[in-house]
């Protein structure tokens, strides 16, 4: 069976074709989407979990490649006093819940796709991301296969951003595709192909067009924003090769995660001491606050988790005017609560789509602590990343050399009125169509899979 597979920065989804229509498979209890997260009681236990689920023909080679990690995994299982068959790795909502239950004890990664194109990764770091993605794909494929009444998924078109990383260029893109391709093979896919996510989102919209149009597709996802100017319509939809229709594109690692981080800094971190003063009259350094919530920056997260970071915060507390606030930052560092703070910001962002103000509980940091968050605060916080999204739209149009007839906006992040209004304001004379905020990419990937593999 051929499917579209959106291995997204925020969520994952799988689509199949039924009687000419796309159907998304329900990967979660109450949703077609699986949250892009993984939690392990110890990071070396990830490769152990992968090995257990690999097909027999792949186990020997994988065991040889991961001999050192598997040895450490056996030691970790003994140290954690885990039974041989006790679950130690969780994916999706199970991962989120495990992290919330034990934030200081395990290894938690949100939006692993955001890291796949990172420059300067060591061999062991690339191997870790291969295992993370493989584990997630194994989980998703098993879920999907179980929903198909005995059928098996064999081929998939996987969505990819125009650029996985703002820097690194094609080398970063090749690294990310190589990780995804290897993980898919280990997970049991016989063959995979890749398609730019904004083009995939536009293909679903194209199916509704009655005449040919030039369309700017703006896909604001969880980890990346991609923009593509594409010729679409009845004269184009049946082509297998769409390269001539693809007029211009741009992409950057800027998305919903960045907006959540920016809101965390603006709305929450002053409750932890950001902006307060030292007794010598100098402001408290901002870097540890940024490192605490920079969940899509592996270097920042690694630095914040170190003993030296803990010691530095303790030294700041000694000479701070508001030591009580910085003690909250120390708790965040000790208990690894950065992801939870960003998750609170994401919840606030969603709530602000329906109301102008929201009170967010931060009692996991300090009893009875609440932060008041307003729409205007959100708009102010995201001014810089939104300006980057607007610049990407202009870049794609400049590359195409023409204005589009329609702007098609999709991606979960674009659901926020604060984001949509900024996108609409840049070209007010052009018609804007808002697509399925979450399902359009998967639908396009699914349609394309029928053409690529048939």
| pLDDT over 80 (residue 374) | yes
- What are the DSSP calls for 63-113, one per residue? HHHTHHHHHHHHHHHHHTT--TT---EEETHHHHHHHHHSTTTSEEEE-GG
Read off the pLDDT of each residue in 207-235 and give the average, rounded to a whole number: 89
pLDDT at residue 353 tops 80 = yes
Handedness of CA 398, 399, 400, 401 (dihedral sign): positive
**Paired tokens of 402:** 């023409």
Classify residue 166 by its DSSP letter.
S
Query: Residue 29: what pLDDT?
Result: 84
Of 91, 179, 181, the residue nearest 136 (C-alpha):
91
Instruction: Report, as an integer, the average pLDDT of 196-211.
Output: 85
User: Per-residue confidence at 367, pLDDT binned at 50, 70, 90?
Assistant: very high
Lowest mean pLDDT among 208-217, 251-260, 396-405, 425-434: 251-260
Computed over every residue of the chain, the mean pLDDT equals 91
What does 312-346 look like in DSSP terms, one character per residue? HHHHHHHTBTTHHHHHHHHHHHHHT-HHHHHHHHH
pLDDT of residue 436: 66
* Positive or negative: CA dihedral 263, 265, 271, 275: negative
- Calculate the alpha carbon distances from 70 to 53, 75, 129, 367, 369 in Å: 14, 9, 15, 41, 42
Instruction: Please choose, from the candidates 285, 249, 439, 413, the residue with its C-alpha nearest in 3D space to the C-alpha of residue 345.
Output: 413
Domains in the chain, CATH or no CATH each: 2-189 (3.30.420.40), 211-255+384-435 (3.30.420.40), 257-381 (no CATH)
Crossing angle of helices 440-453 and 197-206, in 10° steps, is 90
Cα distance from N-terminal residue to C-terminal residue, the chain? 10
Query: What angle in degrees, to the nearest 10, is found between the helix axes of 123-146 and 45-53?
Result: 40
Which of the 8 DSSP states describes residue 285?
A: P
The Cα–Cα gap between 63 and 365 comes to: 41
Gap between the Cα atoms of 30 and 32, Å rounded: 7
Are residues 240 and 257 in contact, defined by beta-carbon separation less than 8 angstroms? Answer: no
CA distances from 414 to 11, 202, 254, 291, 424 (A): 15, 15, 12, 26, 11
Grade residue 423 by pLDDT with cuts at 50, 70 and 90.
confident
Measured at the alpha carbon of residue 229, what is the angle toward residues 225 and 234, in degrees to the nearest 5? 125
Q: Which residues contact 271 (CB under 8 A, 6 or more apart)?
A: 325, 328, 362, 365, 366, 369, 371
Percent of the chain past pLDDT 70, that is, above it, reads: 98
Beta carbons of 13 and 32 less than 8 angstroms apart: yes
Cβ(266)–Cβ(418) below 8 Å: no
pLDDT at 273: 97
Among the ranges given (1-5, 205-209, 403-407), the one the predictor scored with the smallest mean pLDDT: 205-209
How confident is the model at residue 105, as a pLDDT?
Answer: 79
Strand partners, 246: 230
pLDDT of residue 4: 97
- Which secondary structure element, helix H or strand E, spans residue 174, and what is its range? helix 169-187
pLDDT tens per residue across span 307-325: 999 999 999 999 999 999 9
């Amino acid at each position: 069976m051929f499917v579209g597979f959106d291995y997204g920065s925020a969520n994952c989804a799988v689509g199949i074709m039924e009687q000419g229509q796309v159907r998304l498979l329900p990967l979660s209890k109450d949703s077609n989407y699986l949250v892009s997260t993984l939690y392990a009681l110890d990071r070396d236990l990830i490769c152990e979990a992968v090995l257990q689920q690999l097909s027999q023909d792949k186990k020997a080679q994988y065991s040889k490649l991961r001999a050192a990690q598997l040895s450490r995994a056996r030691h970790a299982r003994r140290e954690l006093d885990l039974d041989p068959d006790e679950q130690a790795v969780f994916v999706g909502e199970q991962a989120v819940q495990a992290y919330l239950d034990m934030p200081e004890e395990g290894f938690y990664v949100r939006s692993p796709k955001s890291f796949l194109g990172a420059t300067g990764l060591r061999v062991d770091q690339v191997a870790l991301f291969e295992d993370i993605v493989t584990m997630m794909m194994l989980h998703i494929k098993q879920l999907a296969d179980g929903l198909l009444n005995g059928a098996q998924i064999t081929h998939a078109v996987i969505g990819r951003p125009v650029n996985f990383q703002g820097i690194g260029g094609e080398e970063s893109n090749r690294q990310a595709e190589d990780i995804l391709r290897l993980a898919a093979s280990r997970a049991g896919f016989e063959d995979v192909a890749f398609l730019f996510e904004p083009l995939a989102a536009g293909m679903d919209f194209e199916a509704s067009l009655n005449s040919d149009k030039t369309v700017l597709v703006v896909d604001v996802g969880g980890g990346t924003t991609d923009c593509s100017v594409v010729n679409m319509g009845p004269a184009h939809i049946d082509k297998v090769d769409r390269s001539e229709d693809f007029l211009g594109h741009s992409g950057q690692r800027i998305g919903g995660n960045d907006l959540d981080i920016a809101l965390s800094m603006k709305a929450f971190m002053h409750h932890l001491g950001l902006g307060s003063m030292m007794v010598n009259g100098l402001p408290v350094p901002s870097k540890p606050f940024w490192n605490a919530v920079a969940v899509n920056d592996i270097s920042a997260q690694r630095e914040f988790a170190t003993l030296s970071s803990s010691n530095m915060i303790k030294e700041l507390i000694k000479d701070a005017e508001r030591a009580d606030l910085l003690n909250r930052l120390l708790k965040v560092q000790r208990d690894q609560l950065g992801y939870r703070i960003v998750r609170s910001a994401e919840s606030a962002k969603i709530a602000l789509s329906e109301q102008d103000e929201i009170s967010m509980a931060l009692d996991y940091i300090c009893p009875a602590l609440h932060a008041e968050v307003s729409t205007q605060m959100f708009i102010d916080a995201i001014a810089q990343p939104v300006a980057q999204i607007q610049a990407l739209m202009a870049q794609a149009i400049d590359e195409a050399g023409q204005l589009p007839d329609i702007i098609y906006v999709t991606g979960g992040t674009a659901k926020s009125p604060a984001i949509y209004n900024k996108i609409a304001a840049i070209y007010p004379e052009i018609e804007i169509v808002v697509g399925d905020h979450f399902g359009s990419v998967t639908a396009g990937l699914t349609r394309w899979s029928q053409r690529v593999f048939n």
